[in-house]
Amino acid sequence: MNQEFWNQIQCKDLLKAVSEGKEVTWINDNLEDATKALLKINLAMTDIDGAEARLAKFAPFILKVFTETAPENGLIESPLTEIEKMKILLEKEYNTEIPGRLFLKQDSHLAISGSIKARGGIYEVLKHAEDLALEHGILKETDDYSVFASKKFKEFFSKFKIQVGSTGNLGMSIGIMSAVLGFHVIVHMSADAKQWKKDLLRKRGAEVVEYEDDYSKAVEVGRENSDADPTSYFVDDENSVTLFLGYAVAANRLKKQFEEQNIVVDEEHPLFVYIPCGVGGAPGGVAFGLKQIFGDHVHVFFVEPTQAPCMLVGMASGLQNEVCVQDFGLSGQTHADGLAVGRPSGFVGGVMTNLLSGILTLQDYHIYDLMRDIVNSENIFLEPSACASFWGPIQLMKDEATKAYIEKMGLTSKMVRAIHVPWATGGNLVPQEIRDEYMRTYLDK
């Protein structure tokens, strides 16, 4: 990095620390009133509601082909669980205080693909299938969508391809759903993708192409191949509005869960949500939905690994996707495979500009300790990437930057009534032998 580069960027001191691989907390000085900030964005609550309505139409189909969704009547939704024992353990182990209540949003346990990608990824495949079926006159909007499970539809979709680049979990969601619908699906997997994910996908009928490069390369080649083929559709993790809206539906569902559990979020009961971030689509979509619903009462923080803090370097420098973590001398490599992304989505960075409260980073060894903590305290297994979310509640009342944020926002006296939701983004499909291996990793740190 030359001097000229450093001269043109914001937040120099913080980014210098980032470039040294240090753990940092960045508070977004561009955060604005939610109402004002949301007006600048080209997407609205009606778009999220539209996505939710489409998922409801597909519920009879999903129920038919994925019977595990029966308890939710064909909706793909995860539990919201209070984790009091984990709260006590974290407070003790990390010498911190988590005032209020601590809940876990268990997207790790979403049906079909066991990660947050079951929201956006599956939604985009369903929408594309619907578009094709309508366009070719085999479907009317008023039809019962369980016809998507028919042999006729499967044969129809077999003439089309879907392609995606992925570090693993997005590929699983796109791959599994596309294959069930009958598509020829090709998943371009980066070097970070775990072997078991590739194996599982192949078993489900997806074609897996492996790369020795990182995620950006897998996406680039996937996009090129797909664009060159008129029968092929590319799921663009970096730019897709459809994917983003699929994630955003989570906020509507969370609001309902809060109501069912008599949890109040308002002026006096602030909500803090902490979401692990890779390219940004999943946490960005969820954050956008949450700001639409809870406005200024929700404070959203992303969490990233110290070696792959792509959204942090993009947003803090003000250069968005014009920079990557390698520009800051970082490797982009991390045990948090779901977060191993070097360059952020420019689209998501733009949407988050005035909505996101901040971003925290943590070193890899913490995620394994946190994974053991949640197993030991609550008997819930999460994949390492997902455990980055706990860094938020640990640091909130401990880190100088977040402490100053709490004070500045006038929240100090309200914290006793705070609701904290670390977003557990994945884990349920991790095979037992891999879990055992994870449980032994970085034990000596």
Ligand X SMILES: *Cc1c(COP(=O)(O)O)cnc(C)c1O
Q: Give the interface with ligand X as residue ranges (CB under 6 A).
A: 115-117, 169, 276-283, 338-339, 341, 383, 385-386, 425-426
Q: Which residue is nearest to ligand X (CB)?
A: 278
Looking at beta carbons only, is 117 or 297 nearer to ligand X? 117
Q: Any idea what the Cα angle at residue 272 is, between residues 398 and 354, rounded to 5°?
A: 100
Q: For the CB of residue 426, give the shortest distance to ligand X in the complex, in Å.
A: 3
Contact between 17 and 339 under an 8 Å Cβ cutoff? The reply is no
Q: Which is nearer to ligand X, 270 or 278 (CB)?
A: 278
CB of 138 to ligand X, least distance (A): 32
Do 190 and 333 contact (CB within 8 A), yes or no?
no
Which is nearer to ligand X, 210 or 259 (by Cβ)?
A: 210
CB of residue 247 to ligand X, shortest distance in Å: 8
Q: Are 248 and 284 in contact (CB under 8 A)?
A: no
Shortest distance, position 222 Cβ to ligand X, whole Å: 15
| Smallest distance from ligand X to CB 137, Å | 34
Residue 80, beta-bridge partner list:
105
Tell me whether residue 179 or residue 275 sits nearer to ligand X (CB atom).
275
C-alpha span between 143 and 123 (Å, rounded)? 18
The distance of closest approach from Cβ of residue 42 to ligand X in the complex, given in angstroms and rounded to an integer, is 19
- Least distance from C-beta 60 to ligand X, angstroms? 28
Residue 99 or 285 with smaller CB distance to ligand X: 285
Residue placing its CB nearer to ligand X in the complex, 161 or 335: 335
Shorter beta-carbon distance to ligand X: residue 63 or 324:
324
Judge contact between 325 and 308, C-beta under 8 A: yes
Q: Cβ distance 317 to 342 under 8 Å?
A: no
Six-digit token string for 323: 């920079």
Residue type, 226: S
Amino acid at residue number 277: C
| Residue 305 β-bridge partners | 362
Provide the minimum distance between the beta carbon of 252 and ligand X in the complex, in angstroms, as a whole number: 19
Of 63 and 80, the one with the shorter C-beta distance to ligand X is 80
Cα 315 to Cα 338: distance, rounded to the nearest angstrom: 20
Longest CA–CA span in the chain (Å) reads 62
Number of helices and strands (H, E) in the chain? 19, 11
- Write down the H helix ranges in 158-240: 169-181, 195-203, 215-227
Count of residues making up the chain: 445
